[in-house]
Homo-oligomer: A and B are copies of this chain.
């Protein structure tokens, strides 16, 4: 996973992988049918990890509370597995068609929860979104970007990052967030 994340699937040889785990290339084939299956296993296991962990962390409540839970989960989970997130989004194009379809389906399952939250919130009038579908993709992209600059020994703790991103997402969806004091108005001229 580490090699794929840093160098890319196509640029990593079976001999490099073997060397990384202290073995000759041929020995790898006792554990994987071929290189493609190895990539597929890594991605499938990761996606299942994400879905299982999310299932466990999921909770009912207002769309705003669910959105906060989703955003902080997504960041927290992937800050602990930056390599897996990188591979899952950058190596999709190296999957054979049937494998791609499977991973894509799992990814969609995960992102569908976010889309549902945004749709619910928009329907209830507590979010202000033109297009929940695109907002879903935009938010996921924004959150995923964190793995490109995050360093464990950097100036920010995981919880800081979660809060910063949550703040931006909350405002981005136009949440009328009365409960905790910060306010955002939706209707034109509602104040002015």
Which positions in A face B, CB cutoff 8 Å? 6-8, 10-11, 90, 93-94, 128-131, 134-135, 137-142, 144-146, 148-149, 156, 161, 163-165, 167-169, 171-174, 178, 181-186, 188-192
Select A182's contact among B10, B140, B161, B188, beta carbons within 8 Å: B188
Interchain residue pairs A-B with the least CB separation, the first 7: A141-B145, A181-B188, A10-B10, A172-B172, A142-B142, A10-B11, A183-B185
The answer to whether B6 touches A93 (Cβ under 8 A) is yes
The answer to whether B182 touches A184 (Cβ under 8 A) is no
* Interchain nearest-CB distance for A19 vs B (Å): 18
A145 to B135, CA, bound (A): 11
Known: A171-B173, A178-B192, A184-B185. A7 touches B93 (CB 8 A): yes
DSSP majority for the A interface? Answer: helix
* Interchain nearest-CB distance for A103 vs B (Å): 14
The answer to whether B164 touches A130 (Cβ under 8 A) is yes
* Interchain nearest-CB distance for A169 vs B (Å): 7
The answer to whether A181 touches B172 (Cβ under 8 A) is no
Nearest CB in chain B to that of A179: its residue: B192
The answer to whether B192 touches A188 (Cβ under 8 A) is no
Known: A137-B149, A141-B148, A148-B141. A183 touches B172 (CB 8 A): no
The answer to whether B189 touches A185 (Cβ under 8 A) is no
List of B residues within 8 angstroms of A185 by Cβ: 182-185, 191
* Interchain nearest-CB distance for A184 vs B (Å): 5
* Interchain nearest-CB distance for A115 vs B (Å): 13
